[in-house]
Amino acid sequence: MNPGKQRKMNTKSIDPTAFQPMKVTASRNTEVGFEIEPITKKITLDKIRLYRSQWPRTRNWHNDYEIAQTWGVDKPLAFASQVMEYLGEMLVKYFGEGYLGGNLSVSIIQSILPEDTVVTRGVVREKVAEGEGIRLILDVWCENQHGEKVIVGKASGLVR
């Protein structure tokens, strides 16, 4: 690079994992039936291994093909809590501070594997007056790349 010339910086984020705010966030005017902007994440074996920082000290069905196969599954399984954190990310981005004191309760209904693509989704199902605010109650779920639900549940947050 010529030291006399400055390179023009790319103003768009080149990091696909960088924080991206949602186009629409929670408000008192949010309508029942509103669909929250989804977040898409790619699951990789490296991300699974890094999630709990266990590899290579501890080998288990979350991080080792051989052990997973002894348990009757073809591939290691992602941690459910890892994928739940993707739902948490969506809720924090949607509610902002209103998610403090919110809740998330889910059930895992299908395995999540390395190389799966997970999409978080949420729909406002109910609005309940609470103090000086409105609690939005949502159905939330994660789908894999085939559109199959892998996690389902409920969440809420408060808007003032």
Within-domain flag for 88: yes
* pLDDT at residue number 53: 62
pLDDT at residue 1 in the model: 46
Confidence (pLDDT) at 76: 77
Give a yes or no: residue 9 inside a domain. Answer: no
Total number of domains constituting the chain: 1
Give the alpha-carbon dihedral of 122, 85, 12, 37, to 10 degrees. Answer: 0
Residue 50 domain flag: yes
DSSP code, position 35: B
**DSSP SS3 for 87:** helix
Higher pLDDT pick, 21 / 126:
126
User: 42 φ, ψ to 5°?
Assistant: -95, 125
Q: What is the mean pLDDT of residues 89-103?
A: 92
Does a structural domain hold residue 59? yes
Q: Which of 52-56, 64-68, 97-101 has the lowest mean pLDDT?
A: 52-56
Q: Is the model's pLDDT at 11 over the cut of 60? A: no
Q: Is residue 73 part of a domain?
A: yes
What is the mean predicted confidence (pLDDT) over 105-127? 93
* Domain of residue 141, CATH code: 3.10.129.10
Give pTM, 2 decimals.
Answer: 0.79
Taken in order 94, 95, 101, 103, the sign of the CA dihedral is negative
Strands 39-42 and 103-108 turn out to be unpaired
Q: How far is CA 3 from the centre of its chain?
A: 43
Range of the domain at 148: 39-159
Q: Is residue 114 part of a domain?
A: yes
- Is the pLDDT at 125 greater than 60? The verdict is yes
Tell me: pLDDT of 81 over 80.
no
Residue 47 pLDDT class (50, 70, 90 cuts): confident
Residue-averaged pLDDT of the chain: 84
Question: Which of 14-18, 42-46, 93-97, 141-145 is predicted least confidently?
Answer: 14-18
The residue type of 149 is K
The answer to whether residue 118 is domain-embedded is: yes
Give backbone dihedrals phi and psi of 120, rounded to 5 degrees, phi first: -85, 145
17 part of a folded domain: no
